[in-house]
């Protein structure tokens, strides 16, 4: 899903999840997407995942 489409869905009230294997900030594309979302009013969280792909701990807002 492109960043623009994901932002549109989020603005429409849907929860959008972007899964990235490993450290999300080691991928330049993910960093660019994060910076683009940060410039909007759409709230977001970056959640570090474990090697198995499951989040270590969800932020309270997402539980």
- pLDDT category at 52 given cuts 50, 70, 90 is low
Residue owning tokens 């270590």: 56
Compute φ and ψ for 45, nearest 5 degrees.
Answer: -135, 145
Q: What is the value of pTM for the model shown?
A: 0.62
Instruction: Take residue 34 and report the two structure tokens written for it.
Output: 């994060």
* C-alpha to C-alpha distance for 16 and 33, rounded to whole angstroms: 13
What does the domain layout of the chain look like in residue ranges? 1-44
Q: What is the pLDDT of residues 6-33, one digit of tens each?
A: 888 888 888 888 888 778 888 888 888 8
């Amino acid at each position: 899903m492109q960043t623009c489409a994901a932002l549109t869905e989020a603005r429409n009230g849907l929860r959008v999840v972007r899964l990235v294997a490993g450290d999300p900030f080691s991928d330049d594309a993910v960093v660019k997407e994060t910076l683009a979302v940060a410039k909007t009013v759409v709230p977001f969280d970056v959640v570090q995942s474990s090697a198995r792909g499951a989040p270590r701990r969800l932020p309270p807002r997402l539980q």
